[in-house]
Amino acid sequence: MMKSVRVVVVGAGVIGFSTAVCISEALPFCAVTLMADKFSPDTTSDGAAGILFAAQFPDIPLQRQRRWFKDSFDHLLAIAQSQCAPEAGVMLSSGWQIFKEIPAVETPFWSEFVIGFRPMTDVELKRFPDHKFGQAFTTLKCECSTYLLWLEKRFRKAGGQVEQRKVNSLQELSNSFDIIVNCSGLGSKILVGDTQVYPVRGQVLKVEAPWVQHFIRDGDGKTYIYPGIRSVTIGGTRQEGDWRLQVDGGDTKGILERCSRLEPSLNKAKILSEWVGLRPSRKNPRVEREVVQLQGRPVPVVHNYGHGGWGVTLAWGTALDTLGLVKQSLHEMASQAKL
């Protein structure tokens, strides 16, 4: 069949590739090109611990946030339970989220979608004397550097094209494409002039500690231990408005101290690598469409960015929403062509 509609997806992180796969698999008549300046292993997604749970955004209907989470969880759970699990880098992970003070919301909206969510018992909390409350559950962990390569393979299999190129403005895409899908994360600050997107710097270490089998996350989001397939990711930092990509020795020291307090055996772990990434944060993620005048003609632009530290958690859910917005744009283009 002729691929009659040209779609470009800008951005090769977990949001960009998830979105490109959704569009190319669902709409075979679209010729989809994914274009980005940086690819794995140089994306923000590559360093993400990739564990699935969520924060609540203030201005997005809860129903929509629940759907994003559930769609992503179901998608990754199916992979974790299939023979693709190791090559996709997706695994189940059990552990605890602990709180120094009892949180305002003891049962978050996503708790019904993870597996076996329950409050921790006093016996379980005993090993964390500084913490008063905790939640135990099984969720998913997605190792992004593996997962991105797997998604890229899946995208190419569906007929997708990949092009490495820095996109400086939407203008330069308007002649070659009918629909633009913007998954450029922090790049949207320049690409579409969004002043509401800002970096939250995160530094993590990968350590060799195969005896650590359960994740532990402090509810403040600053200290966490996530065992993965080949190493344990420990962190972290949440430095708003900080653009530094260099590793900070003071942060490394702080991470090791804080994580060893929760899991003393980490004192014996060998550090394999240090990594810094900038979370593309925004008060609310932007998943919407608009029509932009580019070089004198109206071009549908669908946005999907600003997920902050929750990109892996929400990627498949927001990709499905983006696919819906692309379908709406196609529908509008078809009715206009009839006029």
Residues forming the annotated binding site for D-dopa? Answer: 224, 279, 309
From CA 220, how far away is CA 145, in angstroms rounded? 26
Kindly write down the DSSP assignment for every residue of 167-209, as one continuous string: ---GGGGTTT-SEEEE--GGGHHHHS--TT-EEEEEEEEEEE-
> Which residue's structure tokens are 């669908």?
302
Helix ranges (H only) for the chain are 14-26, 62-80, 85-88, 122-125, 144-157, 188-191, 249-262, 311-338
> Which residue's structure tokens are 């905790």?
134
The binding site consists of 44-45, 167, 224, 279, 308-313
From CA 153, how far away is CA 17, in angstroms rounded? 10
| Maximum Cα interatomic distance, the chain, rounded to a whole number of Å | 71
Do 141 and 52 contact (CB within 8 A), yes or no?
yes
| 3 state DSSP class of 291 | strand
Phi, psi for 92 (deg, rounded to 5): -80, 150
Report the amino acid identity of residue 19: T
The binding site for FAD consists of 44-45, 167, 308-313
From CA 148, how far away is CA 44, in angstroms rounded? 11
Exposed, middle or buried: residue 3 (CB in 10 Å: 0-12, 13-18, 19+)?
Answer: middle
Helical (H) or strand (E) element with 290: strand 286-294
From CA 100, how far away is CA 50, in angstroms rounded? 24
> Which residue's structure tokens are 């917005």?
325
Do 159 and 32 contact (CB within 8 A), yes or no?
yes
Residue 12 burial (CB count, 10 A): 27
